[in-house]
A and B are shown apart, each in its own frame.
Chain A
Amino acid sequence: MQLISIQFLIFLPVMAFIYFLIPEKVRYIWLFLISWAFYLSLDLRGFPVLLFTSVSTYVGGRLLEKLEGGKKKAVLAVVICANLLVLALSKYTGLTFLSAAGMSFFMFMAIGYLVDVYRGDLYAEKNFLLLSLFISFFPQVTSGPIERAGHMLRQFRTPQNFSYDRMRDGLLQMMWGYFMKMVIADRCAILVSSIYADPVKYAGTATLIASILYTFEIYCDFGGYSNIAIGCAKVLGFDLMKNFDAPYTSATVQEFWRRWHISLSSWFKDYLYIPLGGNRKGTVRKYINILIVFVLSGLWHGATYTFAIWGLLHGIYQVLGHVLKPLRDRLCDTFNVVRDSFSHRLLKTLITFMLVNIAWIFFRVQDFKSALYMVLHIWKTAPWFISKGTVYELGLDRPNVLLLLMSIGLLIGVDIANKHGIKVAEKITTQGIWLRWLIYIAAVTLIVTCGIWGPGYDAAGFIYQNF
């Protein structure tokens, strides 16, 4: 069962209804059973891997609490290595029997838990079902957010009662997620796939458009999933951490990483960057640490070297950002640039967007040669791609392109509002009933009618589900 499926839309209200009828103390058992059933329906063959992670993490956590010194360290190393070995064998050697949907996500959550117990930041969970629920909680098991045990176990132990407002907010967030995924991401994917399949065939402007649309596709695909997962958990009374926060409004690459896949970047920060020494061991070491973290972050996505290049590029962007800061400051002073001016912030945002955009090319392509071709060609203008209507011959006709542009415009508007502290969802829920309902009904109608779904489209697959 996928989050984008009619089955899920029937499953969620039914399971939620039963969930709120069950006494608070045992609700986690229902959630645990549902989560495992959900996973089994999604990836029956991958279930042993989930089971392995759950059992090893549980046993490891209990041992870590009891042991001290070298043995404790050894247990931590063994359990983490065992899980990472399964992950690595699955990803890098193609042993498909070891692969499982969302394994990169739930294993990182498990590792985070073990490290927290090792550090003494968290007591080992004695209830196997609770710990397993944390690892396999159905909204997040396939693509995160990569939650922290301390945050989730507490909520599972003391579940919230049904709240109408919470349900409404959760459903609104899910709806926004479906909009991002079905109306924007899957629509972008049609045009992007056509051009990325053989970029050499297309003029410069076409490759530029494809790269920009992929930049929005990956955001709306993963951000859409995150919103659905977070909204779904909210309906049940759980708060999951924010995973995206208007990333393309960032004015620097560093800021981008504070807003993009927040749960993964904060995981790497907490469990890799800081243990490596962070910025405490001198500038050179700091740069090396940044590069290590980003290359590993790239490799986390898959075995292809283009993922590593993508990560490395982001690492280099950040290192260069630090190295060139004095020069940039001097240039600003020389030209009397007002740093807070709209134009300067806009320029920085656009430059950051293009840097991120170029990196995404390496993330999307099949081989380095194609990536290089794209990076070199996106600058070559060929406006006739638009004026002669070629753009409408790549799977999206004129109304679809128009709808896509309008939807991206709406997305940008909402993200800018969010960045400035204006919560659009809150604004809607405080309107009068007629306007509120009009917006809700129009939104559902738009998603159901103009969303890409049904025969011919693999709309149910999320890009990040493969990682």
Chain B
Amino acid sequence: MKRKVSLVIKTAVFLVMLAAVLLAVMVVTERKTSYMKNKSFFEEAKKDHLDVLFIGSSHVINGINPIDLYEDYGITSYNLGGHGSLLKESYWQLIRALDYCKPKYVVVDCFMMDRNYEYVDEMYEETPEEFRQAAISQLHLNMDAYPLSKLKIAAVKDLVHDPKIQYQYLFDFIVYHNRWSELEQKDFQKLSGDGEYNMLMGAEMKHELEWNTNDMTEYNPEERLPEHTVCEEYLMKIIDECQRDGIGIVLTYLPFSAEVQDIQSANSAADIAATYGVPYINMLNMDGIIDPMTDLADPGHLSSTGAKKVTDYIGGWLSENANLIDHRGDEAYSNWDKLGKSYNKEVRSLSIRQRLLTTQLNMLTLGKTSAIVYVNEDSPALQDPWFVHLISNLTGTEKVYEASRNHQQYFMLIDRATGNVYEAADYEQLENMSTAMGEMTYIPVEKRFRLLYLTSDEDTNFLYDDEHLKDDVQIMTYDNENGEILSHIYCESSHSYEIDE
């Protein structure tokens, strides 16, 4: 009898130890994207710090920056957008989120409202397999961080048809155990709770610009979706849910290079908004919100500069219409201030050196560093409308177009501390430029030789380097406050816009 008792106890202890080890293995092997995205959501929701929730697709993830919204308007929000998320997924995302918090406002983006299929693992009959697989994988971002619950099971069953695929959301170790061969330090850090996480309250900024080759489709306000879609149905459910819970709701259609079905969706969303009497911000038909040449990272997604503008617009709208408390200065929200500082530091660091010349110029518009740009008179870049547009966007003047038209060399200095912008085309000289570096002088001497020096130190020419004679574009960045030079970038634009490390 004694032996039996001892065996039972030993077996129980063994099973507990085994379970603990397996649990640790599950934590380590789990893909961290969902955890990283939602960690702050759970923390802030627990503290009842979230006044606004943003839901939608990757357009929302890349288009709304809650940290900017807090810094500029004091509004605390979370970006719950999901890559490839249809409104049906957004509905379940909202329902799950409402289990953790009760926001004052929900902002729903209506992109992909034209999609008319029930299940992400089936889509349309003719959908290529890789699209299906991508959707199955993307749904994990919304699902994994949430613990197993009746609600999660209901969501999975509603979104995924194949029971075998459903299991991978309910017990994600089924798919993630295969990650054993690709584990990184951050995977193990989750065990101690100090792993990396999203520091933009769910948002992800796209800084790199990809040349937008799509022409913008002309906006026709008469276009409508040809049939009532599943996503329209779920948009209505979202509105119903918010109205039932007394949560304010606003619909949006964030800007991008829209096609016909997007314009149809945007107009049909307007009809739904009108039917329910909810506000609707359709940025597809609003001129002047974004500049497609600088504010789209790719045809479908906003760049960080685009996100800044869109977030600013939404912030303004919420401030005027939503009666939300400005939490800036409230000690309880000091974490948001820390994240703001951290983000500004990151943007400053990204403004110093980028991979591509175009991205570099665009990042400078965010004003985290001051900059000097010099372009040779025979530079191919000056004949590139995109490049010229980026410079013009940075200075806010048309001067660079003059240099471009006349094949002249071009110089520009933008000093953030003083707010001064200096420009010169051809052989124009600039003297006594007031900058954080000190008083400066620019003198173009000949085609391949020009002077840029501190008035107090004429011997140091910043714009000449024997080793970079072939490079036709130079960019210098310096600290806004103390004038310390942060980077000096050279590029041979005839070769490519890639910047050497």
Residues of chain A touching chain B, judged by Cβ–Cβ distance below 8 Å, are: 164, 397, 399-400, 403, 433, 437, 440-441, 444-445, 448-451, 453-455
For residue B168, CB closer than 8 A to chain A, the reply is yes
Whether A445 touches B22, Cβ cut-off 8 Å, given contacts A454-B175, A454-B178, A455-B174, is: yes
Q: A399-B181, A440-B14 are in contact. Are A455 and B25 (CB under 8 A)?
A: no
Q: Which residue of B lies closest to A444 (CB)?
A: B18
Return 20 A-B CB contacts under 8 Å, by A number: A164-B7, A399-B182, A403-B181, A433-B10, A437-B14, A441-B18, A441-B21, A444-B18, A444-B22, A445-B22, A448-B25, A448-B177, A449-B25, A449-B29, A449-B180, A450-B180, A451-B177, A454-B177, A455-B165, A455-B175
Q: Are B18 and A397 neighbours in the complex by a CB distance under 8 Å? A: no
Cα–Cα, bound, A397→B22 (Å): 24
Interface residues of B (CB under 8 A from A): 7, 10, 14, 17-18, 21-22, 25, 29, 164-165, 168, 174-175, 177-178, 180-182
Interface centre among A437, A448, A449, A450 (most CB of B within 10 A): A449
Instruction: Contact check, A454 vs B180: say whether CB atoms are below 8 A apart.
Output: no
Taking the nearest CB of chain B, how far is it from the CB of A41, in angstroms? 15
Shortest distance from the beta carbon of B177 to any chain A beta carbon, whole Å: 5
Contacts of A399 in B (CB 8 A): 180-182
Alpha-carbon distance A451/B25, docked complex (angstroms): 13
Question: B interface, by DSSP: helix, strand, loop or mixed?
Answer: helix
Chain A residues with CB below 8 A from B180, complex form? 399, 449-450
Q: How far is the CB of A263 from chain B (nearest CB, A)?
A: 32
Closest B residue by C-beta to A399: B181
Closest 7 CB pairs of A and B: A399-B181, A454-B174, A449-B180, A449-B177, A441-B21, A164-B7, A441-B18
Residue among B10, B18, B29, B165 with the highest chain A CB neighbour number at 10 A: B18
Q: How far is the CB of A244 from chain B (nearest CB, A)?
A: 27
Bound together, the chains give a CA A397 to CA B182 distance in angstroms of: 10
Measured CA separation A433–B182 after assembly (Å): 33
Q: Which one, A397, A400, A450, A455, contacts B168 given CB within 8 A?
A: A455
Identify 6 new A-B residue pairs, CB closer than 8 A, beyond the known A449-B180, A453-B174: A403-B181, A441-B17, A445-B22, A449-B29, A449-B177, A455-B175
Report yes or no: B14 in contact with A455, Cβ–Cβ below 8 A: no
**Chain A residue nearest in CB terms to B3:** A164
Residue in B164, B174, B177, B181 whose CB lies within 8 Å of A400: B181
The distance from the CB of A426 to the nearest CB of chain B, in whole angstroms, is 19
CA gap between A437 and B17 in the complex, in Å: 9
- Please give, as numbers and ranges, the residues of chain B lying within 8 Å of A449 by CB-CB distance: 25, 29, 177, 180
With a cutoff of 8 Å between Cβ atoms, the chain A residues found around residue B181 in the complex are 397, 399-400, 403
The CA of A164 and the CA of B5, in the complex, are separated in Å by 12
Q: Which residues of A contact B14 (CB under 8 A)?
A: 437, 440
Q: Which residue of B lies closest to A397 (CB)?
A: B181
B148 to chain A, nearest CB (A): 15
**Cα distance A433–B14 in the bound complex, in angstroms:** 10
The residue in chain A whose Cβ has the minimal distance to the Cβ of B10 is A433
Residues of A within 8 A of B174 (CB): 453-455
Please give the distance in Å from B408's CB to the nearest CB on chain A.
52
Chain B residues within 8 Å of A441, by CB: 17-18, 21
Residues in chain B near residue A450, CB distance under 8 A? 177, 180
Which A residues lie within 8 Å of B165 (CB)? 455
**CA–CA, A454 and B14, complex, Å:** 26
- A445 in contact with B25 (CB, 8 Å): yes
Complex formed: what's the CA distance from A440 to B19 in Å?
A: 12
Asked if A448 contacts B7 (CB within 8 A), the reply is no
Complex formed: what's the CA distance from A89 to B359 in Å? 70
B17, B165, B180 — most chain A CB neighbours (10 Å)? B180
Once the chains bind, are B18 and A454 in contact (CB under 8 Å)?
no
Taking CB atoms, residues of chain A closer than 8 Å to B25 are 445, 448-449
B158 CB to nearest chain A CB (Å): 20
A397 vs B179: C-alpha distance when bound (angstroms): 12
